[in-house]
């Protein structure tokens, strides 16, 4: 419930502190007094877009603080605790503060900790349901509509099991999809490796082969030239007798001079080297054989190796190493087909379990839909929409909540076909239809604090009394704040607040004691000219509300 609301320098408010009670609080006041300020302030503190125009004229900063009592076991309290946003000293409290400066900047805090606007909306979205005229309402959300129907007529434990089954099924389906992709990629890679190895095997490159063939090709391609030069060298060596003649001349000399002895030794060595050279050249000559067919064979082999290297984008020297690498990769690859089959079976079982639970939920939904729609229809007509009806339309939609979604369709005029709640034209009718839905749903569901802006618009007399009693009945299950112009509704409030302007034209909101309530109800009944008769009628309204309590 909303316990306190502090407003400072917001619109026509200089400073305002309002304490709220549980049950039904009615807020009344003359037109233009500022009743909508509470709606605007609550909207801002719960995450509505900030606007510098909402600052009080001349103020540098506006501040709005709302204190909520959550209860220590509420889901929001647990969520705040998980995000370290709770108040350890007061676990059931949620203090939300929003500031706005004249330059349009705003800041938000939950229990003193700064939060961004997205966090603020997400965390406070279920605290207050503000129903202003002609604005989008929480009850127009199909997810909320489905939740209300489920609260009304579906086993909560069944919904929980279905949610878990859906999560398990989807997670397994994703794992299965990932594994299938991996298997497909593996099979594609295996096919590619097999093809590449077959291609390489046909050529069968050997380690060092390219370098050896390159050298041999070079020798073969210039074999004739080498032979010619070797022949010429041998002819020179074999025909040259100058060294032998020189040695013969020197050997005839009879002189033991060291220089002569050295010359003789060197010359003899030169002749021996020349003989060795001739012998080696003849050996080399025998290795040189010009073979055109061998050269062609080497050409073909080099072309094959170059082409294969180009296709695989490696150097020719690396082909043998590539072949070994691809072979090793192919040997190491294995597809876990057994894991794939296991996941397929698991997914099938989980899907069956989910659909079985969803079918039971659908059966309960459809069984309760007619009674829910009928109860809301009766309530709508009680609220003055004499020809109004509510129907529920189901459409397929696989999700954690089951295999369908629901939409509330309304008729307020039999000349027109049923339309979604959000598209009902009249703001007053929309508010009353929402009230009817809230009233029926509240019998079994947990609703947030409801703030209603003139839910009784366009009604009076007996119908206004019915609206007030519905609101008071609704307030037995959730806190209700209602801005109203109907004295019949105001008389049924358990707390009555009056909005007015003080001497400085600042908006004030004050709780009314019994005497003040009589005067305010009399004003609402008779306008500015309050009479004894209007006061007596006001007393009778309060007495009737007291004598005929709502159950």
Q: What's the pTM value of the predicted model, to 2 decimals?
A: 0.60
196: nearest Cα among 359, 372, 28, 323: 323
pLDDT one-digit tens code per residue, 247-299: 788 887 888 888 888 988 888 888 888 888 888 888 877 777 767 787 788 88
Three-state SS string over 32-90 comes to: CCCCHHHHHHHHHHCCCCCCHHHECCCCCEEEEEEEEECCCCCHHHHHHHHCCCCCCCC
pLDDT of residue 136: 41
Contacts of 48 (CB under 8 A, 6+ apart): none
pLDDT of residue 256: 82
User: CA torsion, points 152, 157, 162, 165, in degrees to nearest 10?
Assistant: 170
Residues 432, 426: Cα–Cα separation, whole Å: 10
3-state secondary structure of 307: helix
Determine the longest span between alpha carbons in the chain, in angstroms. 174
Look at phi and psi of residue 173 and say left if phi exceeds 0, alpha if psi is from -120 to 50, else beta: alpha
Residues 201, 209: Cα–Cα separation, whole Å: 14
Give the mean pLDDT of the chain.
Answer: 83
pLDDT of residue 281: 83
Residues 303, 299: Cα–Cα separation, whole Å: 6
Rg (CA), the chain: 49
Strand order in the sheet with 507-511: 128-131, 449-453, 480-483, 24-29, 495-501, 507-511
pLDDT one-digit tens code per residue, 522-550: 888 887 677 788 888 888 888 888 776 65
Residue 203 class from Cβ within 10 Å (0-12 exposed, 13-18 middle, 19+ buried)? Answer: middle
pLDDT of residue 457: 60
| Structure tokens given for 528 | 């500015």
Strand order in the sheet with 402-411: 389-399, 402-411, 419-420
Contact (CB, 8 A) for 470 and 1? no
| Structure tokens given for 549 | 């309590």
Residue 496: strand pairing partners: 26
| Structure tokens given for 263 | 């010359």
| Structure tokens given for 354 | 């989910």
pLDDT of residue 450: 81
Strands 449-453 and 480-483: parallel
Domains of the chain: 2-127+448-547 (3.40.50.300), 185-332 (no CATH)
Contacts of 109 (CB under 8 A, 6+ apart): 95, 96, 97, 98, 115
Contact (CB, 8 A) for 441 and 371? no
| Regions of the chain short of the pLDDT cut 50 | 134-136
pLDDT of residue 172: 93
| Structure tokens given for 91 | 């676990």
Residues 82, 76: Cα–Cα separation, whole Å: 10
pLDDT one-digit tens code per residue, 81-92: 778 888 888 878
Contacts of 131 (CB under 8 A, 6+ apart): 137, 431, 434, 450, 451, 452, 453, 455
């Amino acid at each position: 419930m909303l316990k306190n609301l502090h407003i400072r320098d917001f619109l026509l408010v200089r400073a305002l502190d309002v304490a709220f009670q549980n049950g039904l609080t009615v807020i009344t006041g003359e037109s233009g007094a500022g009743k909508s300020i509470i709606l605007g302030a609550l909207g801002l503190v719960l995450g509505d877009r900030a606007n510098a125009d909402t600052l009080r004229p001349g103020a540098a900063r506006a501040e709005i603080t709302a204190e909520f009592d959550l209860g220590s076991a509420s889901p929001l309290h647990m969520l705040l605790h998980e995000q370290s946003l709770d108040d350890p000293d007061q676990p059931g409290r949620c203090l939300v503060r929003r500031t706005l400066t004249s330059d349009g900047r705003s800041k938000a805090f939950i229990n003193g900790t700064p939060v961004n606007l997205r966090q603020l909306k997400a965390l406070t979205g279920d605290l207050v349901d503000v129903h202003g005229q002609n604005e989008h309402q929480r009850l127009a959300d199909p997810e909320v509509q489905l939740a209300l129907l489920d609260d009304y007529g579906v086993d909560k434990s069944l919904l929980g099991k279905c949610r878990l089954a859906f999560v398990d099924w989807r997670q397994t389906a994703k794992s299965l999809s990932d594994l299938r992709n991996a298997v497909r990629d593996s099979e594609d890679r295996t096919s590619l490796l097999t093809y590449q190895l077959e291609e390489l095997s046909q050529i069968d490159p050997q380690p060092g082969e390219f370098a050896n063939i390159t050298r041999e090709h070079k020798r073969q391609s210039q074999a004739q030239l080498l032979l010619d030069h070797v022949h010429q060298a041998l002819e020179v060596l074999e025909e040259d007798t100058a060294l032998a003649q020189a040695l013969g001349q020197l050997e005839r000399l009879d002189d033991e001079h060291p220089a002569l002895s050295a010359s003789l030794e060197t010359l003899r060595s030169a002749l021996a080297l020349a003989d060795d050279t001739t012998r080696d050249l003849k050996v080399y000559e025998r290795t040189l054989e010009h073979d055109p067919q061998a050269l062609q064979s080497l050409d073909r082999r080099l072309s094959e190796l170059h082409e294969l290297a180009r296709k695989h984008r490696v150097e020719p020297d690396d082909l043998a190493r590539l072949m070994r690498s691809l072979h090793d990769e192919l040997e190491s690859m294995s597809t876990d087909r057994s894991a794939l089959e296991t996941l397929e079976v698991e997914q099938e079982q989980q899907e069956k379990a989910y659909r079985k639970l969803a079918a039971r939920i659908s059966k309960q939904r459809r069984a309760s839909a007619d009674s829910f729609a009928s109860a809301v229809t009766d309530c709508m007509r009680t609220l003055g929409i004499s020809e109004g009806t509510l129907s529920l339309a189901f459409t397929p939609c696989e999700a954690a909540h089951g295999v369908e979604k629901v939409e509330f369709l309304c008729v307020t005029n039999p000349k027109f076909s049923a339309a979604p709640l959000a598209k009902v034209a009249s703001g007053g009718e929309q508010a009353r239809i929402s009230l009817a839905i809230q009233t029926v749903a509240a019998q079994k569901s947990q609703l947030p604090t409801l703030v209603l802006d003139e839910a009784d618009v366009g009604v009076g007399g007996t119908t206004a009394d019915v609206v007030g009693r519905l609101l008071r009945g609704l307030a037995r299950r959730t806190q209700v704040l209602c801005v109203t112009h109907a004295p019949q509704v105001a008389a049924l409030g358990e707390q009555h607040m009056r909005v007015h302007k003080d001497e400085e034209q600042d908006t004030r909101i004050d709780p009314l004691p019994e005497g003040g309530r009589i005067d305010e109800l009399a004003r609402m009944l008779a306008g500015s000219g309050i009479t004894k008769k209007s006061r007596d009628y006001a007393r009778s309204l309060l007495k009737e509300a007291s004598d005929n309590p709502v159950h």
